[in-house]
Every structure is written in structure tokens, then in C-alpha cells.
Amino acid sequence: MTAVPRVDDIPARDGAEDEAQPPAEHGTAAAANGGNGTAADTDSATESDLVTGTGTDVDPAAETSGTEDGTDTGAAGPQIETAIETGPADAGPADAGTAGEPVTDTEPADAGSAGAGAADAADAPATSAETTAEPVSAAEAAGELASDTETADGEPAPTEVDAGVEAPAESHSGGRAGRRAANGGGSSAAVTGASASTGAAAVATSGSPVRAVPELGPVGRPKQPASAERTLRSGLRLIAVRRPGVPLVELRLRVPFSGTTPTLPARSMLLGETLLSGTASRSQVELAAALQTLGAELHASVDADRLLIGGTVLRTGLTTVLGLLAEVLTAASYPSREVAGERGRLVERLSIARSQPSVLVREALRRRLFGNHPYARELPSVEDVGAVSAGQLRRLHAERVLPGGSVLVLVGDVSPARVLDQMEAALGDWRSGTPARPAPALPAIEPGPIVLADRPGSVQTSIRLGGSAVNRADPGYPALQLVNLAFGGNFSSRLVENIREDKGYTYGPHSRIDHAAAGSTLIIDADVATGVTAPALLEIWYELGRMATLPISAGELADVRQYAVGTLALSVASQSGLASTLAALAGHGLSLDWLREHPRRLAAVTLEDAFAAASRYLAPARMVTVLLGDAAEVAGPLGGLGPVASEPAGPLSQP
């Protein structure tokens, strides 16, 4: 496709009604991924997961982060490597969590991740408009059908794409006008009324009556699955949930793993890569053969908050797999030969990762947001990884892989009460100890100049904004989740309509809420052509300011509310999605009750609640702005928007 960014006169807006009455958002694509959890947030998907490619079920909406998801996914960072994936989902689901947000620990499918170049692969949204003999709505008649790949949370999957510089193929102005016409939105309804009525007339002449779309009914109460829970004397929390349908069981074990030692990221990342490399009684090959005989698989991933072990097993082999898991937890051997091999591969993957703009800008943003906090050091240096020995991994395992504060979740076609007994029998001898200390509280975000990480010769600019947010347990979270969806958390959001559909600056602008143990953050991302860097940033600030100073409409709130409820249901529709979501939620002190109550909390959000959340969290003056691009080309235009502080791209600029 030919890159044809349209740089219009920036002060000019597409109709005065934009400011007076924000259009309602429609045409949301459904997220069918059962992996990470909810639609707009993610339990931060870490770069370490993405580089190592280890993990669990994707990630949610999750644990997000995140897509444990994904939804402790988390969320969603650049995907660098293939799997052996991220458990966010811990993002996510991306932490699979709420509708509109991934709740799981981000895990590559969870285990399969894209290759090193995946971060830059273009993912063009598909659009279509058809006229058939079947009844269609006025929006469809106006050419309003749009779809986009989304996470289990329901938010569009974040993409770091060079194609972000290309103009989408469909007519943006026509699509936007069609949406407004269907909603009766402002003066544009008169402009597009002819095309809408023409489409309706075409349908009428076919002999089929035009039927109005029925109103959405009240939010139903989700059916609570049978479950049981128990905490052992060692401090290990066991959760079992019955989800029949297929004779499988999904397993997620979340172990606290935070720390402040500068070399911990290198050791913990390599530990995740070699945890399944053998035990005191089995070699790596023998362990793999034992799992394959049962039709089972296990995988591991590590981030700044947790070690996540995930897997799938046939119901008939559950007892044996629990025994193998216990063997790994208590007698992992970390053979020197396997450690040396994985260390070399990890060094190579880190070098490749740091050549990707998505990774470089993520590191720059996290340094700006978190300063000297451990969250600013997601990826270790090549030198630190090269210095890790097998003996250091054995000591780290003995010190950190402990049952205290850990959570084991099983979801499948099982009897919860009986399965708890099996879990206790298998893991009752896992020795206790002092669990990892919680990560320190996040520093306050201090807005300042635009940070420009210089990447000479870059043909595109990666734009990132970050601000404070609240976690899922906060009473204000449902309102923040909904206004984030309206701003940029789904494909029908204001940000997408402006800089993708109207301006053609990018293919995948996106906003999400990343959930981590120490706190939550709001992240906005877009990749644009170098020549439209300043105009694109101006439009992002404009849409943030509009959200913070003008209430959204009742129709817009209703749309994103229904989107959030629906994507939450989708994110936990599968065994893997539910397991990742529950592991992510449990890691943040929440339970299965949260899934039952959250739709009702979303339904209770008023326009006043939404406006208060937008005013507090979406004000551009409260956010930090970081860009990665060619400073020689973009620094001048950016200077017209405010002070610019330049720094070199890459780990050399770490504090």
C-alpha cells in the first residue's frame, strides 16, 4: 500500500459539532479471544515476557497484561520472540480483567509469540460495505461496517507498525459521517441523510421491510461457576473452578517475584527460561517426554511482579501433572549446559529486541514514568545476563520460588472440592519460606517537557503518553475504564476516528490501562510518519483535552458500557481465559466475585462519574509525553507545541 498521510490544516476541525456534541461511538468490533481478560486494560505485558517468549494463555485482557494476564498483562508491550508466553496476560486475559481491559498475565497465546520483527509488522484493519437483499441498518447502508483485531479484553490489539504511516484504504470522512447519520449526531446528519435514505430505499425495493435494531436489554447477572478455595499452612492459596465442555484442565501458578536488586531482572528472566530444563531425577528430555505422554504442557514466564507457570492437561492426567509441577518447584536442577545455552539465546534475543522501536520507546517511557523504580528496568542488560551462572539460578530459586503468597488456579471439567484435595496432596510438601517483598509504591508522575529519544534515520515516530490510573479494586475504576474506552480503548473510539479515519496519520492508535502490583498506569500509543509527528501529537492532546473538559454523551457512555460488559464475558468464555483472568485477579487480591460484580458496577456509572474520571485522569497536562524518532526532523515542529528534551535512544540513557 502506498503511504499517503494527509496533513490538513491542523486548527481546522471536521465540523463545529465535534466540540459541541461529541459523536456517539458505534460499530465496535467484538473481541473473541478467550485469553486475556477484558477490553480496555491490561496487566502490564512486560518486555521480559515478550523477549523470552514464555507464557500462558494470552493475555488479557489481561494478566495483560496484559493482557496474567493479560489482563496481568498486562498489557501490552512489544512482542519480540516465540514461545517455549507471557502469562498476561498475568495482559491480557492482558491481566484479564475487566470488560474493556485485558485482565490476564499477558501470555503469548499465551505461549506463542511473534518473531523479532512482529512489532513492526503491519496489521491493516479490514473494512467492508455490502448491499444485500437482507435488511440492513442505515449505518450499514452508508458503508459503516468496520472490524479490527482485538484482545480478549475487547480492546484493539496494540500494534507497533511501520504501516502506521499509511492512510487507511477506506473513506474516512464517509465512515465518520455515516456513524453520525445513524446516531442523529449534529449537522452531519443532514449531510449524510441522502446516502442513508438511499441505502434504505434500495433495501425497501427488494421487498424486505426495514427493521429497527432493538434496544439493548438490561445487564444480566452472570452465572457463577462452581468453585472452591483453600489456603494451605505454607501460605499457598488454591482455587479450583468447574468449567465443563472439554475434558481439559487449565493450570496457572503465580509466584510473587518482585525485588529491587539491579541484577534481579537478568537472573529472573534466565530462571524463567530454564525452570523446566530438568530436575534432580529427570533431564529436560525426560521431563518433556513425561508431559507429552499425558498430552500436557507447561511453560513459564517472569516479569517485575511474578513468576507465572501455566499449562494444559487432559483431566485424566491431572494428578500426574500436579506431581511433575511439585517436582519442578522443589527440585529444579538448572543444569550448567542448559543454562549456558539459554543464556546465549537470551543475549541474542535482547540484542534483537533493542533494535525494535517498540521496545526502545517502551523503555524510554518507563524510565520517564518510574525513574529509579524497579519497573523502569524491565529488560536486563546483555552484560548482566552474560554474568548469570547456574549456581546463581539455584540460589534464586531457593530464595524466591516459595508457596507463601503464591496462588494456584485450576479451571476445567473437574469437581472443585475433590481437586483441592489433589492439589494439597501434591504440593503440601512444598517448603515454606519468606516470600518476596511487594514492589515499592510507584513514584508520583511529574509532567514535564516532551521527551524525544533520538533514532536517526527513522521514517516514523513512536508516540507514547503515560499517566496515573486506579486499580480494579478502586471504586472509581469502572468510570475510568469506560472513559478510556471512549477515548482510545476500542476501534470506534474518538482517537481512532480522529487520527486514523479523519487524518490518516496511523493505523492503530490505542489507549489502555496497565495493571501492576505496585499501581496502575494509563498508556496511549500511536506510530506515525515522521512528517506528521507534531500534527498527530497535537490531535492526541486535543482529544484528551476534549474528554477532560466536555462530558461525553449518554449514547457514547451506553455504547462503551455494553462493549465493556460484552468483552468481559468473552474474555472468560474459555477455560484458558478464565484461568488466566482468575490468576491475574488473585495476584491483585481479588476473587471470582469481582467477575460477578463488575458488570453491575459498570451499569451504575453515571455521566457525572464518567466526566469526573475523565477530568482527573485524561487531562493532557497531567500526563508525560515520550517520542522515539529522528530528532533532526521532528524536534523543530515539536518545539512549537512546547519544550522538548532530547536524549539518545536505548539503554545507555538509563539512570
The pLDDT of residue 651:
64
Q: Which three cell numbers stand for residue 111?
A: 505461549
C-alpha cell of residue 645? 528534551
383: in domain: yes
Model confidence at 70, pLDDT cuts 50, 70, 90, reads: very low
Amino acid at 597: E
What H or E segment, with its residue span, contains residue 522? strand 519-529
Lowest pLDDT segment from 182-196, 201-215, 480-494, 560-574:
182-196
Q: How many domains does the chain have?
A: 1
pLDDT in tens, 240-269: 999 998 999 999 999 999 998 999 999 999
Which amino acid would we find at residue 149? Answer: T
Can you tell me the mean pLDDT for 153-176?
Answer: 36
Residue in 30, 158, 180, 36 with CA at minimum distance from that of residue 95? 36
Report which of 513, 608, 540, 444 is spatially closest to residue 42, judged by C-alpha positions. 513
Strands 248-256 and 41-42: unpaired
Task: Establish if 599 belongs to a structural domain.
Answer: no
Q: For the chain, count helices (H), then strands (E).
A: 21, 15
Q: Categorize the per-residue pLDDT at 209 as very low, low, confident or very high, splitting at 50, 70 and 90.
A: confident
CATH number of the domain bearing residue 338: 3.30.830.10
The pairs formed by 605-609 with CB atoms below 8 angstroms and a separation of 24 or more are 605/478, 605/479, 605/482, 605/557, 605/561, 607/551, 607/552, 607/554, 607/557, 609/476, 609/478, 609/479
Q: Is residue 315 part of a domain?
A: yes
- Look at 144 and 295; give whichever has higher pLDDT: 295
CA distance 300 to 320: 18
Q: What is the pLDDT of residue 43?
A: 52
Residue 601 included in any domain: no
Give 453's pLDDT tier (boundaries 50, 70, 90): very high
What residue spans of 187-317 are helical by DSSP H? 188-205, 264-274, 284-293
First to last CA, the chain: 41
| pLDDT given at position 350 | 95
Kindly report the average pLDDT of the chain as a whole number. Answer: 76
Residue 274 lies in a domain: yes
DSSP state of 316: G
For residue 409, what is the enclosing H or E element? strand 407-412
- 190 φ, ψ to 5°? -70, -35
Nearest CA among 330, 271, 326, 335 for reference residue 301: 271
Per-residue cell: 105: 498475565
CA distances from 401 to 282, 309, 394, 397, 603 (A): 19, 11, 10, 5, 41
Does residue 337 lie within any of the structural domains? yes
Is residue 304, in this structure, part of any structural domain at all? Answer: yes
Record the pTM: 0.71
Cβ burial, residue 556 (10 Å; 0-12/13-18/19+): buried
pLDDT in tens, 520-546: 999 999 999 999 999 999 999 999 999
In a domain, 232, yes or no: yes
Q: Which of 2, 101, 4 is closest to 44 using CA atoms?
A: 101
Q: Which domain holds residue 342?
A: 227-427
d(CA 652, CA 655): 8
CA atoms within 13 A on the CB side of 411: 23
Q: From the CA atom positions of the chain, what is the Rg in Å?
A: 24
